[in-house]
Amino acid sequence: MSNTDVKIGKFALESLTTGMYADPRIIYREYIQNCTDAIDEAIKKGILSKEDAQINIRIDLKKKQIIITDNGIGIDSENAWNYLVGIGDSEKSHTEMRGFRGIGRLGGISYCNKLTFVTSSLGEKVKTEIVWDCAKLRELLQPGKYTDYDLKRAVLEVTTLNQTNEDSEKHYFKVILEEVNEKYSSLLNEGEIRTYLSEVAPVPFNHQRFIYAGQVEDKLSYYGKVHEEYNIYLNDDPNPIFKPYKTWFWVDNKKDHIVGLEFFDGYDKEGNLLFVGWYAKTNWYGQIENRDREIRGLRIRKKNILIGDEKTLDSFFSETRFNKWVIGEIYVYSDLIPNARRDYFEENESYWTFKEVLEPFTRKTLSKFPRIFSEKRKLNKVLNNASDEITEIEEELEKGITSEVKRRDLCNKVHTLKKQVRKALPKEIKKPADLQPYKLKIEQGSSSISSNIQGNGTNTSITSRINSEKAKELLNKINELENKVINSKNYRTNELSSAYSKDIKKVLRHVFEIIDNHCSCSNSNELINVIIQQLNEKVSGKAKKA
């Protein structure tokens, strides 16, 4: 027995195709990232301008066919076979290229009966076409059949190579999926794929819908980075696909709006940039509704391709649900490597550093906003109601106190009002001496790796004043009002004619007190008004007769 030979079974191919992706739509991401790598290489070599670069996708529901084409560098005829039939043998750099494992292009095998790669490179008059017979491959991979086949034999039996003449000026790469399996009909749903690509693909912002797009691009430029974006066209739409971000969204059946952006960054111990991020400044009314799911959540992007989905960073928050309140992106750099499924990162040293730096920010800052803004709204409501009640009490004082019972009622109202305002205050500022503008700050420039995140610019969300000045003013006003109620000498009996003696007025105050004790507020006021009016009219009538 030789210990130098290694046999790789045919089922390894099944694991790299069918078993790789939980979501079949990921094949679009895999092919598009290969397109972007080809375009980058063409631009680098000067055979294509950034403006002319494009990726075209055609979805034909009737034919059950998908065609993805780019005008990148293409693959020369000499290397096409090894590149397009070889498995896991990519020479791409994981730090420079989006697709680097050499397995993503085979993702389509699981979802169609025929997978074709067509390519040509600038300067040669050859078009190379490699066809994978996916239906036959699935037959070869059936358990219990073709047991003598290894991986190499299976691949060679289902692939064919054809080379024909081509215009030497052309350079492109084309992927064709034919007879897409009905089980994966979502791959042929144009609307669903457009939405998916708007979230996942490295596409530009729509500056008209998302007016803060320029701020993101400028901030990345400040760090010496660019917003890596490509024009991707779907079917006959003359407009490229854009990211879904916009300035408004739905929360609890009402619209909320983005009023600005806040930026943050993170570095490792050596001062290397790990990431640059932004999140939207909103009113934080609650969880963003499913109808705006495509913009919901703090999302991670590597080379502007989404890693995972809206839930990928849920575990970074103090409660996973809080990520549904957030809109934002994190552009990661350094040696963070997406895993083979592109739904998370390889857990290498860079990953653990990334987690150590970012998590304190998401847990201690972003996770606090739902509570802070809920308290803010609650306090606003209490303060507005308190202002109305203060006005009502002041009006009653202005009219005059009918009796000591009424005075006690007003004192109780004032006392209850004071308790409501104090209860609604954030715990950090419940004491009158502490009623200063309430702020939540991001840690600045710490040498500790876990808190080395900096916020840039003024943010009403982070330096959020929770109307503490108004609360302080109202509490002072309530204290003053309490003293006025206690010390007021403005009795309703003062409205009686001077013809009535002090003793009579004193007796009437006792009468008014009985009325206050036994009648509702509105009835007692009405009755007392009638008594005062008729008593004054009686005195006035006698004076006229005299």
* Domain assignment present for 313: yes
Identify whether residues 430 and 346 lie together within a single domain: no
| Nearest residue to 231 (alpha-carbon basis) of 56, 74, 66, 98 | 56
CATH code for the domain in which residue 337 is found: 3.30.230
Of 312, 336, 364, which residue is a domain's last?
364
Identify whether residues 313 and 410 lie together within a single domain: no
Of 364, 382, 412, which residue is a domain's last?
364
Q: Is-above-0.85 flag for pTM?
A: no
Identify whether residues 164 and 48 lie together within a single domain: yes
Identify whether residues 398 and 357 lie together within a single domain: no
Rg (CA), the chain: 37
**CA 511 to each of CA 340, 383, 517: distance values in angstroms, whole numbers, following the listed order:** 88, 36, 10
Identify whether residues 501 and 388 lie together within a single domain: no
Q: Which two tokens stand for residue 94?
A: 């994981």
Query: Any idea how long the chain is?
Result: 546
Adjacency order of strands within the sheet including 159-165: 159-165, 126-133, 112-120, 172-180, 65-70, 55-60, 232-234
Identify whether residues 474 and 542 lie together within a single domain: no
Identify whether residues 432 and 541 lie together within a single domain: no
* Domain assignment present for 177: yes
**CA 245 to each of CA 104, 258, 417: distance values in angstroms, whole numbers, following the listed order:** 28, 10, 43
Question: For residue 469, how far is the Cα from the chain centroid?
Answer: 31
Identify whether residues 544 and 500 lie together within a single domain: yes
Specify which residues 257 forms β-bridges with.
248
230 and 417 Cβ atoms separated by less than 8 Å: no
DSSP H helical segments within 100-253, as ranges? 134-140, 151-158, 190-200, 213-222
Identify whether residues 150 and 295 lie together within a single domain: no
**pLDDT score of 358:** 95
250 and 288 Cβ atoms separated by less than 8 Å: yes
Identify whether residues 57 and 142 lie together within a single domain: yes
Side-chain half-sphere of 55: how many Cα atoms within 13 Å?
A: 23
* Domain assignment present for 203: no
Per-residue pLDDT of the chain (546 residues; tens, 9 = 90+): 444 444 555 556 666 555 567 789 999 999 999 999 999 999 999 999 999 999 999 999 999 999 999 999 999 999 999 989 887 555 544 445 444 444 678 889 989 999 999 999 999 999 999 999 999 998 888 887 878 888 888 889 999 999 999 999 999 999 999 999 999 999 999 999 999 999 999 999 999 999 999 999 999 999 999 999 999 999 989 999 999 999 999 999 999 999 999 999 999 999 999 999 999 999 999 999 999 999 999 999 999 999 999 999 999 999 999 999 999 999 999 788 888 777 888 888 888 999 999 999 999 999 999 988 888 888 888 888 888 888 888 888 887 777 777 788 888 888 888 888 888 776 655 444 333 332 333 333 332 333 345 444 334 443 345 566 777 788 888 888 888 888 877 777 776 677 777 777 777 777 777 776 777 666 777 787 788 777 777 777 655 555
* Domain assignment present for 319: yes
Of 149, 165, 188, which residue is a domain's last?
188
* Domain assignment present for 230: no
* Domain assignment present for 469: yes
Total domains present in the chain: 4
The rounded distance, in Å, linking the Cα atoms of 465 and 521 is 39
The rounded distance, in Å, linking the Cα atoms of 1 and 501 is 128
Structure-token match 């609360």, residue found: 471
* Domain assignment present for 208: no
Residue 241's SS3 state is: coil
Identify whether residues 30 and 160 lie together within a single domain: yes
Specify which residues 491 forms β-bridges with.
401
Identify whether residues 54 and 163 lie together within a single domain: yes
* Domain assignment present for 64: yes
Structural domain that includes position 321: 248-364
